[in-house]
Each structure stands twice: as C-alpha cells, then as structure tokens.
Copies of this chain bind each other. A is one copy, B any other.
Amino acid sequence: MAAVWYELKHQCKQTGARYGILHTPHGDFETPLFMPVGTKANVKTLIPSEIKEVSEGLILGNTYHLWLQPGDEIIKKFGGIRGFMNWDGALLTDSGGFQVFSLSKIRKITEEGVEFRHHKSGEKLFLTPEKSIEIQNNLGADIIMSFDECPPFNSTYEYMKDSVDRTIRWAKRGKDAHKNPETQALFGIVQGGGNKEIRKYCLEKLMEIDFPGYSIGGLSVGESKADMYEMLEFLKDIMPSDKPRYLMGVGSPDDLVVGAMNGIDMFDCVLPSRNARHGTAFTSYGKVQVKNASLKSSHEPLDPKCDCYVCKTYTKGYLNHLVKSEEILGMRLLTYHNLYFLKTLMANVRKAIQEDRLADFKDEFFKSFGYEKK
C-alpha cells in the first residue's frame, strides 16, 4: 500500500468537482481541503491545538526555510517536523524549489541543480533533486514534493520546454533518491506555465514515471485569474482521476471555489495568515480592513455568520483597537479567524459537491463575498 492514496467518492453533476478522501499515515481527510502553511515548523501565532481547530488536520511545512534554520538533520532527531513542533496531524512539505526561485535573486540553474545565495546572509548554496528529497526525508512529512523549476508563466516555448524537460528529469532523479516511499508519498509537479501543450507533455511524462499524486505548480504567480482558470479547466480532464490533485500556493477564496470546480483536491497558501497579520479579515460579506475607523465603536462580531472563537468572543471594536495598536494578539486572532473561514468555506464546498450544486454555491458565495460574477 502506498503511503497516501485517494478515494473518489462523488463527482458534482453540475461541475465535475471531486469529493473524496485523502488517506495518509496520519489521518484520512475529506477533500477538497485547504492546508494552512506552517513555514518554519509553526503556523504563525498558533499552537497545535488551535491549528487543529482551524484546519482539517493537514498542514504544510517549507523545506527551504527549515533546511536553512535549524537544519533538517536537527529536525530529524526531534522526530521530524511533527515531533519538533508537537503536531500529531498530517503534514506536507514542498521541495524548496519555489523559494529558490522566488526568494533568491542570484541563481544558476544547471542539469545538476540550482546554485543560489541565501536570501538573507548571501551564503552560497546548492540544491539538487536528490538533496531536496534527502531534506524532505529528514523532515518526515506524509506528502513530499519533487524538486522543480518554476519558470515564469509567459516564458518562451523554447525556455519552457527545456525547463519542463529538466523538471521531468529532476522528478525521476528525486523518485530514485526517495528513501521512504512506504511512509512518505512523493508527488510530481506539473509545470509548463501558460502553455497547454507543454503542461500536457509534462503531466504525461510524470505519469510515466508514476507518482501517488500530482501537483500543479507555476500558477497564481502573476498571471491573470482568467489565464489561471483556463489552465485549470484544461488540466481538469487530463489529470488521472485516481490520484490526488494539489494546486500549489493558491488560497484566495474565489480561487479555492473555482479550483474545486476544476477538480482540485488540495490547496495551500500563506494568504489567510499573511492577510491576518496585515489586518485583513475574510468574512461572509467580503474582505474587511479591520483597522478601518468605521469599526471603532462596533459591538458586533467580525462575522455574525462565523462560529469561530474570535467571532463568538470579541467585537469588531476590540479587534479594530488591537490592529490599530499593532498588538500581536490582533494578528493571532485574525490568523485564527481567517483560517477558520477557509476551513468553513471548504466544508461548504464539499457539501455543495455532494449535493451536485457547486456552480450554484459559487454564485451565492461570490455574491455574498462581493466578487464580480465570473
């Protein structure tokens, strides 16, 4: 038995969206789901019992950051990220590839791997597919990622093809280097930017190598939403239906709903927690700038339709005061609320799929959240 496997339970008759169960060594999870990001072995501001309350029990850690601090060898001795941070739920790590390309300005890509400089110290570093997998083996997540290049969405055909061919070779090398396939499921990552032909080619080559799950990388990297949604629609029909599908780094409420409509099972994003630290809350009536003076005297909860701890306990006036005063507690409470909001949203998405009405749900949600109808 593979470390992780996907069970398709129902497809929405209105949209084709998938409701299923993701089986992992540390829990079975209803999908589609959103995974909070715990970059540095913690979901910012929260303790594990709270992460449980605001997630399905599956979170993400970042290989790049933890490799550099405190180091994967050290984390391994603590029992991996899960032992280190005292998390008894399930875990996914990325490959570090995205951070190499997004955080490091100076880098050199060779067949062997990527040479780059530490985003703070400037120290010279080298990451290869084998090294990424070795780190991820040490970090010990249930789901791990192939080391890939994330080329710009609108790269030339030639660059994109070369890059994707290398990503495919790196995926194979990573699979060969992977030491714990029985306990850690290695996903392949479909790249190809905005080029459908190359996306399809990449997917097919990865399927030949054979992975227990497939991720979609290189989306939500600056392209328009229309471009992203078009690519998701294209991929929807060609991705294998018996494997989990993970759309990397996507987590705005509209993208989660549209992603689910296009058959995505798993999402992650720093957006809800980062927005929270900057005073922006997601609510049933749209985004709220909590610092806004209009909230100052409000005795109402942030979201009257939300039953999270924050909305049951505090007023908008108090949250406004905390955010305006730059109090850490404000960041903490909004992080909790925003993650809870996405958890609730995804539960509603799953319900709508099972009831064959996800397109209707999308219209209702977009209207209440204040999105233009798309």
Chain A residues with a Cβ under 8 A of chain B = 40-42, 44-47, 65, 69-70, 74, 77-78, 84-86, 296-297, 299, 313-315, 317-318, 320-322, 324-325, 327-329, 331-333
Contact = CB atoms under 8 A, between A and B. Distances in A.
A230 B368 CA distance: 67
Given A84-B315, A332-B332, 14 more contacts: A40-B321, A42-B327, A44-B327, A45-B328, A45-B332, A69-B321, A69-B324, A69-B325, A70-B321, A70-B324, A74-B317, A77-B299, A84-B321, A328-B331
Contacts of A74: 296-297, 317
A327 B39 CA distance: 10
Contact of A314 (B70, B86, B320): B86
- Most B Cβ at <10 Å: residue of A318, A324, A333: A318
A319 to B, nearest CB: 11
A332 B321 contact: no
Nearest to A296: B70
A144 B329 CA distance: 25
What is the total number of copies of this protein in its complex? 2
A204 B49 CA distance: 53
17 contacts: A40-B322, A40-B325, A41-B318, A42-B322, A42-B327, A44-B327, A44-B329, A46-B329, A47-B333, A69-B321, A70-B321, A74-B297, A77-B299, A78-B299, A85-B318, A328-B331, A332-B332
A81 to B, nearest CB: 10
B78 A317 contact: yes
Contacts of A325: 40, 65, 69
A318 B325 CA distance: 29
A362 to B, nearest CB: 34
B84 A318 contact: yes
A44 to B, nearest CB: 6
A109 to B, nearest CB: 28
Contacts of A299: 77-78
Nearest to A336: B47
Given A74-B296, A77-B297, A78-B299, A41 B332 contact: no
A328 B327 contact: no
A324 B46 CA distance: 17
Contacts of A84: 315, 317-318, 321
A141 to B, nearest CB: 17
A327 B321 CA distance: 23
A82 to B, nearest CB: 12
A241 B85 CA distance: 50
A113 to B, nearest CB: 25
A333 B329 CA distance: 13
Contact of A45 (B41, B65, B70, B329): B329
Given A47-B329, A328-B328, A320 B70 contact: yes
